[in-house]
Amino acid sequence: MAIQASLEVELEDRPGQLRSLLGVFEEANANIISVTHIHGRKANSHVPVEIIFTAAGKEALATMDAALRKGGWHVVSLEKVIQLRRVTVGLVGNIIRTRSVEVLIDRVDALGANVSKFSMNMPCQSGESSALITFEAEDEAVIAKAMDEIGKICGQNNLLLIKPVE
């Protein structure tokens, strides 16, 4: 299960520090959601930076913490914000012609889930296509509502829904 976390770190106020720090996230295969660089709060030639990101789980978060400290970064705090449940479903049918993808993403987002990945295989525009849609939410009830909504949209648009295997 993915974990959303928050890192607060103080960087030396010199060119390239933020870029170097972001390399740690790349090595840890963490996905950055937002970066807040607060240059106006500079203290002792250090600039506070807050980074919100997702990691693969508790072990990945611990590995990242160790890498940050080993790299000499001044970590103020690193904490789990929420634990996300990630679900991937498949769709098969005339996805483009039904314009169902935009509706599906809007409705899933409106329920409080986040569509984090979308990929599609489309041999030709007028024929059948397939898509994988990954969404995530903290609350299991939101996941269930999103799955119900996706099922309704698929039914209305004559699309086959391939549900995740639990």
Distance between CA atoms of 48 and 13, rounded to whole angstroms? Answer: 10
- In whole angstroms, give the CA distance from residue 46 to residue 12: 4
Please identify which residue in the block is written with the tokens 């001044």: 74
- Give the C-alpha separation, 118 to 97, whole Å: 17
Six-digit token pair at 127?
A: 């024929």
Sequence ranges of the domains in the chain = 2-83, 85-162
pLDDT at 27: 84
In the block, which residue shows the tokens 């994988």?
132
pLDDT recorded at residue 5: 87
Distance CA 166, CA 164 (A): 6
Nearest to 48 by CA among 10, 2, 87: 10
Q: What is the pTM of this model?
A: 0.56
Architecture of domain 85-162: 2-Layer Sandwich (3.30)
- pLDDT value, residue 111: 94
| pLDDT digit string, tens, across residues 130-152 | 999 999 888 889 999 999 999 99
Encode 80-109: b = buried (16+ Cβ within 10 Å), e = exposed: eeeebebbebebebebbebebbeebbebbe
Q: Given this chain, do its domains 2-83 and 85-162 carry the same CATH topology?
A: yes
Helix segments in the chain, DSSP class H: 17-27, 58-70, 95-98, 100-110, 140-156
What pLDDT is stored for residue 1 in this prediction?
A: 65
Exposure on the CB side of residue 110, measured as CA atoms within 13 A: 8
Structure tokens, 30 = 């963490």
Cβ atoms < 10 Å from Cβ of 23: 11
Position 101 scores a pLDDT of 84
Give the residue carrying structure tokens 């098969």: 92
Domain 2-83 classified CATH 3.30.70.260? yes
Q: With a cut of 50, list the residues of the chain below it in pLDDT.
A: none
